[in-house]
Structure 1
Amino acid sequence: MPAALDGASFWPLFAFFFGVVLLRTQLTYWIARLVTRWSLDHTRPRRPWVARVHRWLQGEGTARGLRTVERWGVVAVPLSFLATGTKTVVNAAAGVVAMPFPRYLPAMLLGCVVHATIYATVGWAAWSAALAAATGSAWGIAAIAVIALAVLILVALRLRARRRASTADGAELP
């Protein structure tokens, strides 16, 4: 978050978080919709980033998002902003199934308002308090460093396993 927003009142924080989540969800929806369209038009995407998104769209997370959108329809979009880890897959699923934009937009905007409200109030305050508590001691800083290192190692191992699996399947690497 920009330093100018440190200690800011509700409305500047709300505007910041609303803008961030609006941009992120729009990009997710349109990239998923575009890559799905390209994938339907071309059986093997040639552009490396399209191939990566294509593989992600075929993953279990997106499949869960599709099932949620199929079951709950447009209501799934604003509800996805209430739970961690669901926003991206549900908004991508809305793009994959080509949910009509006039129906998607109000639901997405409602979700953005909910998200920005949570983060501009209790969400950001809780994050700031936890970070301040953790960095207030040498043990807290060490814990953050260990967690960051663990996340990097897990990401690297997953990427390596995916590359090995795609090489074993004879698929092209991006």
Structure 2
Amino acid sequence: MARSHATYWAGRGVVRGAQAVDEHEGAPSWWHSSVRRLESWSGTPSAQRGLDLVRRWGPVAVTLAYLTVGLQTAVIASAGLVKMPYLRFAIASVPGAIAWAVIWATIGFGALWAALALFARSPWALAAAVVLVVLAVGWSVRRRARVRVQAEV
């Protein structure tokens, strides 16, 4: 909850900072460069997906973002960027955070204990399992990127 709310407020800060730079051209150079870096982040594909989801689904996107990996931060920061009212964001984040905690407490800890048990039996088996997972994730990411590029063409 602390990280997601800090990310939300960082998104709100980007908007406020951009407004302040527009209003006060005499801001220090580090301020301008920080705002430019944050504005450039908001133009990345992941950030654009997050913005699109928040604009389309609103608080539902925030709740469901807790169930994603890689898109979570983009959606939560986007809620701040589009100035979603804080109370609406906070209410939407509670069920998402609870779902994330339940998933981590069950599947996450189960995977951790399974990895520790496998390591106790054979560190090489654990290393092989990690390599297989990394290869599977890499294959999946490349496949999705290839499909996305083909869809854009």
Given the two structures, how large is their TM-score scaled by the length of structure 2? 0.68
Residue from 40, 45, 52 that aligns with 1:67: 52
Alignment of 1:125 onto 2:104: no
Structure 2 residue 30 is matched with structure 1 residue 46? yes
Question: Aligned partners of 2:36 and 2:128: how far apart in 1?
Answer: 38
1:87 is matched with which residue? 72
Query: What is the Cα deviation at residue 117 of structure 1?
Result: 0.9
Equivalent AA in structure 2 for residue 81 of structure 1: Y
Q: Are residue 137 (structure 1) and residue 116 (structure 2) matched?
A: no
CA apart distance, 1:143: 7.8
Aligned identity (percent) is: 37
Measured at CA, do residues 91 and 142 of structure 1 come closer, stay the same or move farther in structure 2, by a change above 3 Å?
same
CA contact (8 A) 2:118 2:125 kept: no
Query: C-alpha root-mean-square deviation of aligned residues, in Å?
Result: 2.8
Aligned length: 125
The answer for unaligned runs of 5 or more in structure 1 is 1-21, 148-174
Unmatched runs of 5 consecutive residues or more in structure 2: 135-153
Deviating beyond 4 angstroms after TM superposition, the runs of 4 or more aligned structure 1 residues are 48-51, 141-145
Say which is worse superposed, 125-134 or 80-89, in terms of deviation: 125-134
- How do 1:138-153 and structure 2 match up within 5 A? 138=124, 140-141=126-127
